[in-house]
Amino acid sequence: MHLLGTRLLIQVTPPDIRDLKRRDWPPESMLKMKVTRLNTPASPVIDVHNQFGEGAKTLTAGRIKRYLKEMDDAGVTTVVNLAGGRDKKLQETVTAPDRTHPGRFLTFPLINLRDFENDGWPERETARHRRSFEAGAKGLKFHKSLGLSYRDKEGNLLTIDDERLDPTWALCGQMNRPVMIHTSVPA
């Protein structure tokens, strides 16, 4: 503060923009448009990417009932569960929602890429997928760890066109099963 003659000058430091909190600044849209609210979708909706769990302990009758109500309220006719589990858990997952509510739930197991360099891995994994499809799995899911995590002994990332995956692609084609691939999302 400086006193110059009869004037009092006060030096004010402007606030730092980094200290601005969202709660202190509620933005308001300046865009003016007609709003149309739809309570139900115009056509059937299929949720193709959901992960609501695996196995009987997770997919209880009460939980499935809640899922069905939420689906009905939102106009969703079918949900693809991309977290179907493997082996026994896959059997339980297919039994719990899929067979109890045909057409409402479609279960996809995850491919197991661990040990992909071990002898016999392609055959073991393909046989497991065949059993999964025969048990009722509707497709196969590749997690984003393909392209991010699994490396061979030389340090190269496992790629989608690796020949060790050829038996899996062939089986999915033979059994007419779709494959969902979550591509890598590196930082």
Please give the residue that has the higher pLDDT: either 114 or 39: 114
CA–CA distance from 172 to each of 64, 107, 109, 123, 167 (Å)? 28, 15, 12, 14, 9
> Span 167-171, mean pLDDT?
97
Token readout for 40 is 């139900």
Q: How far apart are CA 133 and CA 92, in angstroms?
A: 14
Name the residue among 162, 159, 165, 78 with its Cα closest to residue 129: 165
Whole-model pTM: value is 0.74
Q: How far apart are CA 37 and CA 45, in angstroms?
A: 17
Res 144: pLDDT: 85
Name the residue among 185, 100, 94 with its Cα closest to residue 137: 94
Q: How far apart are CA 90 and CA 138, in angstroms?
A: 11
Token readout for 44 is 């059937």
Q: How far apart are CA 170 and CA 93, in angstroms?
A: 25
Res 60: pLDDT: 92
pLDDT surpassing 90 at residue 55: no
If you average pLDDT over every residue of the chain, what do you get?
Answer: 87
Q: How far apart are CA 128 and CA 89, in angstroms?
A: 13
Res 6: pLDDT: 60
